[in-house]
Amino acid sequence: MSYEKVVQADHIIVGTKQTVKALKKGIVKEVLIAQDADAYVTDLIIRTAEHENTPYIFVDSMRKLGKACRIEVDAATVAIIR
């Protein structure tokens, strides 16, 4: 179901730096985080999402998350924006 959210979303942001920026702007509806991504990357996203009171969920695979975004590389984080 989580991957379907990404596929069905009108607007998404892929990547850690862009997700953090969007979170700080307050335009993120929800963040998806791959469990197999480095904690160094995901910890920053989790802290920022919690600080901004934005919900986040975990998905099992960076590869599947990238595929859901229709990109050729793995994705550690994806933000669904308003």
Q: Which pTM value belongs to this model?
A: 0.92
Residues 6+ apart with CB under 8 A from 75: 14, 15, 34, 62, 65, 66, 69
Instruction: Show the domain range for 21.
Output: 2-81
Structural domains in the chain (count): 1
> Any idea what the CATH number is for the domain that residue 9 is in?
3.30.1330.30
pLDDT one digit per residue (tens) for the chain, 82 residues: 588 989 999 999 999 999 999 999 999 999 999 999 999 989 999 999 999 999 999 999 999 999 999 999 999 999 999 8
CA 61 vs CA 7, 35, 44, 46, 82: distances in Å: 15, 6, 18, 17, 24
- pLDDT given for residue 56 in this prediction: 97
Which pLDDT score, from 0 to 100, does residue 1 have? Answer: 59
